[in-house]
C-alpha cells in the first residue's frame, strides 16, 4: 500500500488531523479556566456519575450536552464521529439487558430481557458515555501542554514518582490520540478503495484494518522519538506557569452543589 506522508505531530497543519479529541480554540469560560481546576471538575463529576442512579445520570447528560453545544460540539457532530463508541455502548446495553436476572419483559430466542436488566444496561451505558464526554470536554478546551503541566503539578508532591517523566508521557499520549484516529480513517479509506470491505471473512477484514494501523502508529512513534533525540530533548525543563481566570472558586462550588443534587436525585 502507498501511504501519504505527513508530519508525525498531531498539532500540525495536515488535513484531517482536527478531531473531537483535538484542542478547539475559543474564549469561553471553559477555555480560560485553570487546567488544574478543570481536572478537579472532571474528577468530581466522574465520581458523582459513578455513585448516582439513572435519574441523576440523565440530568448530568443533559447538562453535558448543553455545555458541549456551546463549545461547537453538538449532537449531530458527536453522532457522526463517535459511531463506533456508540455501537460499543449499545452492545453493552443489550448484554446487560439480556444477562441480568429479574422480571421478564420480552423473551427472544431463549433470552429473557428483564426490567432490571434494562435499568442496569441503561445506567452502565450512560456512565460510560458521560465519563467519555467529560474527557472530551477537557481535551477540547485544553492544550496538551497545559494538561502535561497539570499532571506534573499533581504528581510533584508524590514521593518516588518522576513527575516530569509521567507528564511527558501523558502529553505525548494526548498528542497521539488525534493522529491515531486520523490514521485509522486513512487506513479505512485505503482498504475500502481496494474492496477490502467486501470480504466475507470478518477476521480477515479486521486484520486488513488493524495491521496497517499498528504499523503506521509505531512508525510515527519511532519518528517522533528520533526527532526528540536529534533535538536533545530533556525532561528537565522550566516549570510551567498557570494562569487562573479568577472564576475557579465559584465554578468548583457550583460543581459541588450540582454533584450533591445528582446524588440526592439518584
pLDDT band per the 50, 70, 90 thresholds, residue 186: confident
Q: With a cut of 70, say whether residue 8 has pLDDT above it.
A: no
pLDDT above 90 coverage of the chain, percent: 29
User: Residue 171: is its pLDDT beyond 90?
Assistant: no
Residue 13 has pLDDT above 70, yes or no: no
pLDDT confidence of residue 266: 67
pLDDT at 47: 93
pLDDT for residue 19: 65
pLDDT above 70: percentage of residues in the chain? 91
Concatenating the DSSP letter of every residue in the chain gives -------S-TTS--TT---TTS-----SHHHHS-HHHHHHHHHHHHHHHHHS-HHHHHHHHHHHHHHHHHTT--HHHHHHH-HHHHHHHHHHHHHHHHHS-SSEEEEETTEEEEHHHHHHHHHHHHHHHHHHHHHHHHHHHS-HHHHHHHHHHHHTTSTT--HHHHHHHHHHHHHHHHHHHHHHHHHHHHHHHTTGGG-S-HHHHHHHHHHHHHHHHHHHHHHHHHHHHHTT--S--PPP-----S-HHHHHHHHHHHHHHHHHH-
Question: What's the chain's average pLDDT?
Answer: 84
| pLDDT given for residue 37 in this prediction | 93
127 vs 83 pLDDT, higher one:
127
Dump pLDDT digits (tens) for 191-250.
Answer: 888 887 788 887 888 888 888 888 888 888 888 889 888 988 887 777 777 888 888 899
Q: What is the mean pLDDT of residues 78-82?
A: 84
Q: Is pLDDT at 152 greater than 60 in this prediction?
A: yes
Over residues 66-82, mean pLDDT = 87
Amino acid at each position: 500500500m502507498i501511504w501519504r506522508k505527513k508530519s508525525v505531530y498531531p498539532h500540525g497543519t495536515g488535513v484531517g488531523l482536527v478531531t473531537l479529541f483535538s484542542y478547539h480554540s475559543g474564549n469561553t469560560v471553559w477555555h480560560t479556566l485553570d487546567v488544574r481546576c478543570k481536572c478537579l471538575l472532571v474528577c468530581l463529576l466522574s465520581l458523582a456519575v459513578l455513585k448516582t442512579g439513572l435519574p441523576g445520570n440523565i440530568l448530568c447528560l443533559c447538562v453535558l450536552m448543553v455545555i458541549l453545544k456551546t463549545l461547537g460540539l453538538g449532537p449531530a457532530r458527536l453522532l457522526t464521529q463517535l459511531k463506533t463508541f456508540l455501537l460499543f455502548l449499545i452492545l453493552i446495553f443489550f448484554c446487560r439487558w439480556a444477562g441480568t436476572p429479574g422480571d421478564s419483559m420480552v423473551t427472544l430466542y431463549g433470552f429473557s430481557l428483564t426490567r432490571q436488566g434494562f435499568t442496569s444496561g441503561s445506567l452502565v451505558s450512560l456512565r460510560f458515555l458521560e465519563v467519555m464526554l467529560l474527557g472530551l470536554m477537557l481535551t477540547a478546551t485544553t492544550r496538551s501542554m497545559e494538561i502535561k503541566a497539570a499532571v506534573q503539578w499533581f504528581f510533584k508532591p508524590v514521593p518516588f514518582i518522576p513527575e516530569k517523566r509521567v507528564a511527558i508521557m501523558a502529553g505525548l499520549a494526548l498528542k497521539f490520540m488525534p493522529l491515531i484516529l486520523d490514521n485509522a480513517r486513512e487506513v479505512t479509506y485505503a482498504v475500502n478503495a481496494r474492496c477490502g470491505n467486501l470480504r466475507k471473512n470478518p477476521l480477515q477484514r479486521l486484520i486488513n484494518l488493524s495491521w496497517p494501523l499498528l504499523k503506521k502508529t509505531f512508525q510515527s512513534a519511532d519518528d517522533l522519538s528520533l526527532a526528540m533525540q536529534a533535538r536533545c530533548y530533556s525532561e528537565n525543563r522550566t516549570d510551567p506557569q498557570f494562569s487562573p481566570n479568577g472564576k475557579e472558586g465559584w465554578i468548583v462550588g457550583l460543581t459541588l452543589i450540582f454533584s450533591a443534587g445528582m446524588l440526592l436525585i439518584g
